[in-house]
Structure 1
Amino acid sequence: MIRCILFWLSLLAVPAQADAIRLVDDAGQILEFSQPPHRIISLAPHLTELLFAVGAGAQLVGVDSASDYPHAAQALPRVGDASRINFERILALKPDLVIVWVGGNRAVDIHGMKKMGIPVLHTQATRLDDVARLLRLLGRASGHAGEGETAARAYSVRLEAQRVRAGKKPPVSVFYQVWDRPLMTVGGTHWISDALALCGARNVFADLRALAPMVSREAVLRRMPEMMMSGSDAPDMRRQWQRFASLPAVKNRAFVRVDADVLHRLTPRLIEGVAGLCAAVAPYR
């Protein structure tokens, strides 16, 4: 009889153990939770969107000032932005996990939260495939591993469906202008470079390692891009470049603006941005 009771008690203990979480974040830090975090703060808009995508939206108690998607995120308390974090507001929200973007959030702010004893999950993201990886990571971190896995697989399938098969023609050379003053582009480690390659194009500054390097006008002219692209959040580039008649992009009248809201964020909606990018490249292939 006693053995029977002990057996059933051991079964009752299994769900509590199953809720325990142990994972390694993108900084190599090990995080352990006896149960899924119930009060999460996100400090980047793409992280907020990813958390909603894995079913953890109800666990969010605070976000950065740029988190505007999905609509429910707009009602959440704001705790700062990439340039400054309000530590008092964060403490008042009593988070049991803060999720940060290494490179997007200031190192001093991340260090400050860790000094206050707040568990911090570090994430990094630079490539298209990072969306699926982060969906899995944030799914596990929030206690929604199954939803994270499902969302990750769906994203990967949709991304692969966008891939343009290599043809006999060389890829279209593209200059992607992030901003005009200073003149900025994307380097080879940026997901937009990945997206261009997937669409049958080539970033003319793919040899640069920085995510968003500054370049000179002369450097752009030397690389002779066949297309010039920019996000919808940047100034129109036509006026700046049309006077350079020898530039292939000018001859081709190949100036394209794409939806920055979906292309510039590493979330499942990035598929829409990639689709728009591929559609823009297609007429010039």
Structure 2
Amino acid sequence: MMSNMHLMPAFACRKVSTIKASLLLFVVTGMFCCGAASAQALSVEDDTGHVVTLEKPAQRIISLAPSMTELLFSLGVGDRIVGVMDYSDYPPAALQIPIVGRYDMLDMEQIIALQPDLVVAWLTGNPRTAIQRLKEFGIAVYTAEPDSLLSISDHLLRLGQLTGQHQQATDLSQQLLNRLDAVETQMINAAPVRVFYQVWHSPMISVGGAELIHDMINRCGGTNIFAELPVGPKVNLEDVLLRDPQVIIASGSDRESPAWLDDWLQWPELAAVRDQHLYAIEPDLVQRHSLRALQGMDTMCEMIARARP
């Protein structure tokens, strides 16, 4: 969902991961080539190890994560989505789909009434007891827990198989992998830059080493100053001052920076403040595991590059 303190080994690991993703793409494509003429069931393994099997491509889909909603639209099956989770606001057409719940509560009665043949769930974003109940009702549930840019490729391929959109999934996945390889090549000799990503100000929340934003920072030649911490860590001012980030990036909006970003101006000894590298970025571009994450990565790379000596 790699710390640049060891930049070259990290890039080497990413190269292996890219190869693994490419192999997955080959395997999925091969499965379709070999089985296109048959009426075999469609089966994929989700992120919990559960094998999801459909007799035919899903036609009535419920998405319980905004990021998965975006991926389904990218695959060209937005018109098959009959229910979504709250905050599924992109693309705009998603706003017209009935909402079947929020992160902490699902409307089980509505979900069952919609008669989905596939529910796409989010492991850490949906109530697990509710997901288990859906399975007990005999509903096919694909559970995702993406944690990196490469995982977006994986989910495109698997959802492409479950929806019969294997060619679209293969094309999109390859485009993503090509873009990641291009960025990796650009950053091979780039000097590392210390980065503090601030999700929120009170309490002060950053990102750990197993998150999408960390992956972006790393790929952009940055060093996440809290890479050793778990997901969504609460941090304190003293630690930020001690680690002296060269860039501070805050979750803002598509129109303005958060007011609290300017709070850092009272600490002129910080490299990021002294050299005027305080930035804000639209959260949905860096916190959602969708194809828009590539746009978020490009923006983040530009911000980090400005601070590179």
- Does the alignment reach a TM-score above 0.5? yes
| 1:9 equivalent in structure 2 | none
Q: In the aligned structure 2, how far is the partner of 1:242 from the partner of 1:227?
A: 13
Structure 2: distance between partners of 1:16 and 1:59: 24
Larger helix proportion of the pair: 2
Hey, which bits of structure 1, 4+ residues long, moved more than 4 A? none
Distance apart, 1:269 and its partner CA: 1.2
Does residue 183 of the first structure (1) align with residue 204 of the second (2)?
yes
Whether 1:270 and 2:293 are equivalent positions in the alignment is: yes
Q: Give the aligned residue type for 1:134.
A: H
AA at the equivalent of 2:272:
A
Residue of structure 1 in register with 2:241 after alignment? 221
Look up the SS of the partner of 2:188 in the other structure: coil
Say if 2:150 is the partner of 1:129: yes
Provide the residue aligned with 2:217 in structure 1: 196
Aligned position for 2:281: 258
> Could you say which residue in structure 1 is the equivalent of 2:6?
none
1:244 corresponds to: 267
Please tell me whether the aligned partners of residues 175 and 204 of structure 1 are also in contact (alpha carbons under 8 angstroms). Answer: yes
Specify the alignment match of 1:35 in structure 2.
56
Contact 1:259 1:276 in 2 (8 A): no
CA RMSD of aligned residues (A): 1.8
- Kindly state the Cα deviation for residue 99 of structure 1 after the two structures are TM-superposed: 0.6
Amino acid at match of 2:195: V
Q: Determine the structure 1 residue equivalent to 2:140.
A: 119
Deviations 1:7-31 (A, max 9, x none): xxxxxxx878346201111111112
CA–CA distance in structure 2, aligned partners of residues 15 and 127 of structure 1: 31
Structure 1 portions without partners, runs of 5+ = 1-13
Structural mapping, 1:136-151, within 5 Å: 136-151=157-172
Give the equivalent residue in structure 1 for 2:11.
none
Task: State which of 249, 252, 255 in structure 2 corresponds to 1:232.
Answer: 252
CA pair 276-18 structure 1, distance change in 2 beyond 3 A: same
Q: Which has the larger radius of gyration?
A: 1
Please report the TM-score for the alignment, with normalisation by the length of structure 2.
0.83
- Count matched residues: 270
Inter-CA distance 150–18: structure 2 relative to 1 (3 Å threshold)? farther
Corresponding letter in the other structure for 2:103: A
Contiguous gaps of at least 5 residues in structure 2: 1-34
- Kept in 1, the 8 Å contact 2:248–2:277? The answer is yes
Against the structure 1 CA distance between its residues 244 and 15, is the aligned structure 2 distance closer, same or farther, given a 3 Å change threshold?
Answer: closer
In the other structure, the counterpart of 1:165 is 187
Does structure 1 residue 59 correspond to structure 2 residue 59? no
Partner of 1:97: 118
User: Could you tell me which amino acid in structure 1 is paired with residue 274 of structure 2?
Assistant: K
- Contact 2:149 2:289 (8 Å CA) reproduced: yes
The one-letter code of the counterpart of 2:295 is E
Q: Deviations along 1:4-62, whole A, 9 cap, x unmatched?
A: xxxxxxxxxx8783462011111111122211121110001110110111122222111
